[in-house]
Structure 1
């Protein structure tokens, strides 16, 4: 089957072969997320492989579905059973009364997502992927071109190990565990910044974005450029697509808040306000992603964007890294992994590993 035909099957789900169930541990925390877990077997993704996943819910899934794309998270493997580099954030905590009636989410946790860029072990990544609910899709892609597989992906992960310093940080849920937070050029750990979905700025050409921030896919594009393999070109989503994504984000946050599910749980049950706190949370999160204004639920922030036909979004998504959903899989501006097709992730490398992703 030709590469073009294979790439047209962007929404096909690759089977996930699991050999072990997670054993999660979670202590008291202001966030509802479980940070720590274990797996009795590691994954088979080779060193330098790009791993792409899709979760079963949450705001990022809604945003990317709203722009017609499928994959929602991207990670880099350091080898079968080895460490994993990715960029993510835990669910922000909630403010106390009366602040939560206007800005329900803690502003600093929403604006500067934690842990941001980090390197974690197999137990931690298993908990991250499977501990919070269903995972619809997971597959890996190796770096390759029309001439066959190459070592570019491995060179990129080795560049990360050798050229991006880390800071060992104690887990917020298990004091006996630590994670390695990855630092930017300014010497500070990189944050997960939702605004990167609106504008990645110059991250794909080797500079950090606003608030020393990146997201999963823009961080990998950054590493490809800095390792010497050229820039993954940013994609411009037109105004109508931007508005669709913003509305999808708002609806996802409000619905999951109202039902006590998903990304931000328990908000509605904690509040006694004169207006719907879930509506406030949805507007606050949308303002954060669309404008980098994470400290307000003011509806005018979004209205000014939605009513201006010149506003667009410019970013790099997981599907763009993988060459799916119409994004290029070869040539200038493509990632080194995009020519490959989906390879099944199996959890079959030996060794029981426990760890925490934050």
Structure 2
């Protein structure tokens, strides 16, 4: 069966050159996420391969991507079997104290500048991130760089560029002071934050730039690295106004529902805080404003309404499915990622030994 047929069927069915001095601890948070864990063996993903996953717990990102007909929710980059992993993510922000939590429940700084952002972590840390001490995944696979002519070494070239030419700074874990990991620095020399607005507009990060608030997300970081390593850029995809509206409303409903039921992103907040208004409604509006407009400091419904009511507004970004060539995104030709032509390959945890680490 041709690679094109396999992709169609499966889609339908579903930096060594671092700054040496450690940075100061950025401060604690009351996040409920667990940063540290271990694995008895590392994964088998080859050096330079793209890792795509979908968690089993839903959440805001899954709600947005589901709304636009896409499936995979996170992208990572393997530096080899049992070796370090590069990705961009954030922990669930902590909540504000009284009275701020009645209008902006999430800590603005932690929502605006998601931590740890772009980071390189070990196998114990990525195992903890993916499985959360016993959690489940709906999907996890790797894809190697290839073309119609077969597999190639372009992915390894991106890996080598990250390890040798993309600066990092050592950072102490917020939950285990004896552990550290590497945070990547952007083109302007500042640490790269996780910025939800990248889902609305990736700006020029896929052609080497730095986004608003020095931010990227998982998939735009990898697109950025592809270009900075000397390869042609991944073309951004434009989600039309109707899809933008659908995604924004799905995001709002997801946050509000999880808050009301005490699940996921808003575990416990709805049952532990009493306000004169519905705090879960405020939570949904705050997160939607953050992703849609970069306004993480307010739950003002007017921010979203100005976007939703303007027929000329769209979203422009690169998603995990676009990197992988899934859900109708191209997997061959100009403007695709180096890994898009490959199909899904099973990840097995069978390399190396026991490793402990922290992802934030």
Q: What band does the TM-score fall into relative to the shorter chain?
A: over 0.9
Give the 3-state SS of the residue equivalent to 2:76 in structure 1: strand
Aligned match of 1:208 = 210
What is the CA distance between 1:6 and its match in structure 2?
1.5
**Equivalence map 1:101-250=2 (5 Å):** 101-131=102-132, 133-250=135-252
Aligned match of 1:320 = 322
Q: Deviations over 1:128-161 (max 9, x none)?
A: 0001732100000000001110000010011011
Instruction: Please say if residues 124 and 354 of structure 1, whose CA atoms lie closer than 8 Å, have aligned partners that are also in contact.
Output: yes
Instruction: Please say if residues 69 and 327 of structure 2, whose CA atoms lie closer than 8 Å, have aligned partners that are also in contact.
Output: yes
Q: Number of aligned pairs?
A: 344
Give the 3-state SS of the residue equivalent to 1:301 in structure 2: helix
Instruction: Please say if residues 10 and 70 of structure 1, whose CA atoms lie closer than 8 Å, have aligned partners that are also in contact.
Output: no
Aligned match of 1:43 = 43
Distance 1:160 1:11 in 2: 33
Distance 2:29 2:287 in 1: 21
State the Cα RMSD in Å: 1.1
Give the 3-state SS of the residue equivalent to 1:169 in structure 2: strand
Instruction: Please say if residues 90 and 116 of structure 2, whose CA atoms lie closer than 8 Å, have aligned partners that are also in contact.
Output: yes
**Equivalence map 1:200-349=2 (5 Å):** 200-349=202-351
Instruction: Please say if residues 221 and 232 of structure 1, whose CA atoms lie closer than 8 Å, have aligned partners that are also in contact.
Output: yes
Give the 3-state SS of the residue equivalent to 1:221 in structure 2: helix
What is the CA distance between 1:12 and its match in structure 2?
4.4
Distance 1:64 1:111 in 2: 20
What is the CA distance between 1:267 and its match in structure 2?
1.3
Give every structure 1 segment of 4 or more consecutive aligned residues whose post-TM-superposition deviation is greater than 6 Å: none
Shift in CA distance, 330/55, structure 1 to aligned 2, threshold 3 Å: same
Instruction: Provide the TM-score with structure 2 as the length reference.
Output: 0.94
Instruction: Provide the TM-score with structure 1 as the length reference.
Output: 0.94
Aligned match of 1:24 = none
Q: Deviations over 1:190-243 (max 9, x none)?
A: 000000000000011000100000000000000000111111000000000001
